[in-house]
Structure 1
């Protein structure tokens, strides 16, 4: 079993190496098998002949939200809606850091946004399911107030995606600041915290 798991991971790692250097066009079974140093029959055995199965396993390993799934479940299980503020700040700040430094994930998001792919829609839907419990927990804080936190979360998340994807082709300057500089990174992190805290404070003070 250990050898099988190691071989599967070697194949998944090969997908990542090819994707980083050649993009989607390089993701062919023959190329992956050669990069992994395995016979293509092993890829078929472990992931079927549908390459989407292999790509899905690769993306799930790389995806930020999937990595945070257990933390989200743990916090939600505490059933204390006050914990949601700190958790949301932590998740969004770490997501910014992750996307700011991981060009591989940036290109995966571009792939998701640039075409009609059932596989990428499936990954997106899985992310939504992972994030839903924490949003529902947060909604307890905003119940009966005029503060609409789900749209606020959508704008924050969309901003994190766009600001980082923008730098791939258009440079680091956005809204007059260098979002990749040390100072710019700190200001972004502070702004994420401020926006979430403002929302919680506004709901409390109504």
Structure 2
């Protein structure tokens, strides 16, 4: 009975933690990051606010854990890349194409991720800075593993192209959500429009690999 009681306690703890994390996401999605107050988070979660301190150590630690759980490139850890076992003989072309197109769809569907991107541009926060550092660390592993040796002395040129592509895909999704869906005459909220953008990503990658 004691073993079952311990297991039940662990399950309850995990459920409560998930409720808090979901509450942060709901508030961020509907009201923005300025509305992330401890009483509102607890009320939205339906869990005593004291449990935020018990499970996370405080509201800042709760928010920091939520931030880490939502970012696309932070999830692409070194361990995850190793699990995928990407092709190396093509200089990472197939892998990068899949990652960019997946990022594009992920941010489009994930409103919380869009809010996090806006938050990162709006104010300094230690966890948001850590997010950027983690992205760079993961990205550096990918570059060193498959890309830099392929492009050799042109590797920085390719990095610059990727910087524009990654940030551009982020921007298109946020723009479509906030200011209207037509950009350069393409409706990026339609399947046809999004396919055009994806086609452009594939074209730019091919041109880069063929001509750099």
TM-score (ref. length: structure 1): 0.89
Residue in structure 2 matched with residue 10 of structure 1 by the alignment:
19
CA distance in 1, matches of 2:154, 2:169: 26
Residue in structure 2 matched with residue 90 of structure 1 by the alignment:
98
TM-fit CA distance, 1:74: 3.1
Conserved in 2, the CA contact under 8 Å of 1:11 and 1:36? yes
Residue in structure 1 matched with residue 177 of structure 2 by the alignment:
168
Instruction: Please say if 1:63 is aligned against 2:66.
Output: no
Residue in structure 1 matched with residue 4 of structure 2 by the alignment:
none
TM-fit CA distance, 1:67: 3.0
**Which aligned segments of 4 or more residues in structure 1 are displaced greater than 6 angstroms?**
none
TM-fit CA distance, 1:68: 2.8
Residue in structure 1 matched with residue 113 of structure 2 by the alignment:
105
Instruction: Please say if 1:29 is aligned against 2:27.
Output: no
For the structure 1 residues 45 and 185, does the alpha-carbon distance in structure 2 shift closer, same or farther, using more than 3 Å as the test? same
99, 115, 121: which is aligned to 2:129?
A: 121
Conserved in 2, the CA contact under 8 Å of 1:147 and 1:199? no
SS in 1 for 2:47: coil
SS in 1 for 2:107: helix
TM-fit CA distance, 1:167: 2.1
What stretches of structure 2 of length at least 5 have no aligned partner?
1-9
SS in 2 for 1:96: helix
Instruction: Please say if 1:134 is aligned against 2:117.
Output: no
Conserved in 2, the CA contact under 8 Å of 1:72 and 1:133? no
Conserved in 2, the CA contact under 8 Å of 1:81 and 1:138? no
* Root mean square deviation, CA, Å: 2.0
Residue in structure 2 matched with residue 19 of structure 1 by the alignment:
28
Residue deviations 1:2-52 (CA, integer Å, cap 9, x gap): 222222111111111121122112211111111112111111011112x22
Residue deviations 1:46-93 (CA, integer Å, cap 9, x gap): 1112x2211111111111123332432335x66835261111000000
For the structure 1 residues 71 and 197, does the alpha-carbon distance in structure 2 shift closer, same or farther, using more than 3 Å as the test? farther
